[in-house]
Structure 1
Amino acid sequence: MKFTMTLPDQSAEMSVNDLLEQEWLVPRKVRHFIRTRKGILINGEVSPFHALVHPGDQITVMIEDGDYPKRNILLGDKRLVDVLYEDQHLIIVNKPQGMKTHPNQPDEQGTLLNHLVAYLAPDFQPHVVHRLDKETSGAILFAKNPFVLPILGRLLEQKQIYRRYQAIVHGSIKQDLTINKKIGRDRHDRKKRRIDPKGGKPAITHVTVAKHLTNQTAVFCQLDTGRTHQIRVHLASIGHPLVGDPLYSKHPNGRLMLHAYELHLLHPFTNKEIAVQALPGLW
């Protein structure tokens, strides 16, 4: 497999080795393989690892199948993949409500990852960058190759992937607010999470009121952190559980009213903005 990227204008001058190690997070073993077979080209010319790269340089990296371990994932149905954005390195799709993001067992089928494997075969294999709960719909990002996966993971950790959710909650939320409460596991139910001020992990959710409905409120939620069930636990903790929530609402009728509506990021290789909306939303 061969990847060719043009370094953006904002790039700093650095060595090939620093580019691979520090900017593109290529593992040491893979860097060794690339160096041994002279698998780096700068502007079409084979380059040593000590050579310098500059903004505007065209960098070609040659990867072989054995460089990264390949997983066996059962093929799904490519017709179930709703693509919002796609290029050589990443793909953003609109996940339906009621579909799991990925299998938990090797023989499991019917998840979004299974369907993506079928859609991208035989040239690419998708890799999970983040996940959505089975009950949640909307925009979700996958890497199309293991080369870009750690870079997208770093963007996620550094909060450089913007995600905004639509939600409908029980009751009336009068004004915008930020919920800053630690979340931990529920000791009595392994499926659930709970507010845990002492042992939980930090979690911050920004809530913006969109409109008031009959006995309900439509809100946008933006995450500073990505804890499991974060929006669901936080909103339930202030007395406004999500409509249709089977775990945190006392009246879970209908579907869970949570939708990953927007996803924005700067492309890790071009530095150009990618912005998608997963339509239709909840309102």
Structure 2
Amino acid sequence: MDFTITLPKTQQPMTIRDLLEKEWLVPRKVRHFLRTRKDVQLNGNVAMFHQEVQAGDQITLHLEESDYTYQDIHFGDATLVDVLYEDEHLIVVNKPYGIKTHPNQPDETDTMFNHLAAYLNGRPYVVHRLDKETSGALLFAKNPFVLPILGRLLETKQIYRKYDAIVHGRLTKNQTIRQKIGRDRHDRRKRVVDPKNGQIAITHVTIEHINERTTAVSCVLETGRTHQIRVHLAYLGHPIVGDPLYQNKKAKRLMLHASEMHLTHPFTKEIMIVQAKKQSNFEIN
């Protein structure tokens, strides 16, 4: 695997060692391989780790497949992949309702991970996940090199995610929900508001449209807890329409869709805004 990256205008001067370790989060073992094999080039010449880089420089890395550890993959159905954005390093897809993000068992083939593997004819890398019942924008890394950088953007809240939802009842005001979320002791599939032992969870809710019996809202996450939006809205007494875990009324699907994602590209530093259209089944009967 060869990667050539032109450092952006915002790049601060630093050594190649610091660039690989602190900016690009290359694991220590891989940095060792790159150094001993002389597999880093600066502007076309073999580079030493003490050399300094600056904006506009071109860095080329040669990575061997054996530098990283892999698990077996099974290809799914490439026709189920709706690409919203793609480049050499990352891909954003519009995940359909009813498909899991990734397999939990080695022999599973009907997940977005498997379908994307078939589309790429290779291995994708999971950056974050959406519930099986949730549709919308889902980000994957296309190589192990960029994966830790995208993971850091997610952890440091530099990936903005907006969700559209339809909830039961009529909400009266916009609000921020800050209730901690923990596991349900009685049902391992579920999460609950748990002020004592739960993890910090923050959801910003904005009313978009009020109907007779439901309200359309948009939600922005500051944290990424399992079922966060679903738990927070149910806690308010306004569960999402079609939620099979947190309300009892039947609907053809969970009315929750990841409609928008913003992030800074790990290498170009460009601001990316990716929007995902709702599927035809995202509506009230």
Q: Is the 8 A contact 2:208 2:218 kept in 1?
A: yes
Structure 2 counterpart of 1:170, which letter? Answer: H
2:162 equivalent in structure 1 = 164
Q: Deviations over 1:173-231 (max 9, x none)?
A: 01111100000000000000000000000000000000011200000000000000000
**Equivalent in the alignment of 1:5:** 5
| Stretch moving more, 149-158 or 245-254 | 245-254
**Unaligned runs of at least 5 residues, structure 2:** none
The residue aligned with 1:268 is 266
Amino acid at match of 1:130: H
Q: Tell me by how many angstroms 1:273 deviates.
A: 1.3
- One-letter amino acid of the counterpart of residue 142, structure 1: F
CA distance in 2, matches of 1:76, 1:245: 27
Contact preservation (8 Å) 2:7, 2:268:
yes
Please state whether the residue corresponding to 1:74 is helix, strand or coil. Answer: coil
Give the total of aligned pairs.
281
Q: Which residue of 2 aligns with 1:49?
A: 49
> Do the aligned residues in 1 keep the contact of 2:7 with 2:267 (CA within 8 Å)?
yes
Matches within 5 A, 1:200-239: 200-239=198-237
Amino acid aligned to 1:56: G
Asked if 1 retains the 8 angstrom alpha-carbon contact of 2:209 and 2:217, the reply is: yes
Letter in 1 for 2:99: M
Q: TM-score, normalised by structure 1?
A: 0.98
The match for 1:192 is 190
Counterpart residue type for residue 42 of structure 2: I
For residues 121-146 of structure 1, give each alpha carbon's deviation from its aligned partner in whole angstroms, at most 9, with x where no partner exists. 14xx2100000000000000000000
- In structure 2, the residue matched to 1:88 is 88
Q: Deviations over 1:135-159 (max 9, x none)?
A: 0000000000000000000000010
Give the gaps of 5 or more residues in structure 1. none
Indicate the residue corresponding to 1:118 in structure 2. 118
| Contact in 1 for aligned 2:136/2:278 (Cα 8 Å) | no
Tell me the secondary structure at the aligned position of residue 218 of structure 1: strand
Q: Please tell me whether the aligned partners of residues 129 and 138 of structure 2 are also in contact (alpha carbons under 8 angstroms).
A: yes
Give deviations 1:221-275, integer Å, cap 9, x for gaps.
0000000000000000010000000000121322000000001101010000111
1:97 aligned counterpart, secondary structure: coil
CA distance in 1, matches of 2:166, 2:275: 18
SS of residue matched to 1:246: coil
Partners of 1:81 and 1:67 lie apart in 2 by 29
Q: 1:105 deviation in Å?
A: 0.8
Aligned to 2:25: 25
Following the alignment from structure 2 to structure 1, what is the Cα–Cα distance between the partners of residues 274 and 250? 30
Matches of 2:278 and 2:187 in 1, distance apart? 33
Q: Percent identical across equivalent pairs?
A: 64
Q: Which runs of 4+ in 1 moved over 4 A?
A: none
- Do the aligned partners of 2:163 and 2:258 also contact (CA within 8 Å) in 1? yes
Question: How far apart are the structure 1 equivalents of 2:33 and 2:155?
Answer: 28
Secondary structure in structure 1 of the residue aligned to 2:139: strand
How far 1:102 sits from its partner (Å)? 0.3
- Is 1:100 aligned to residue 129 of structure 2? no
Is the contact made by 2:257 and 2:278 (CA closer than 8 Å) also made in structure 1? no
Q: TM-score, normalised by structure 2?
A: 0.97
Aligned AA (1:234): H
Structure 1 position 169, deviation (Å) = 0.1
SS at match of 1:160: coil
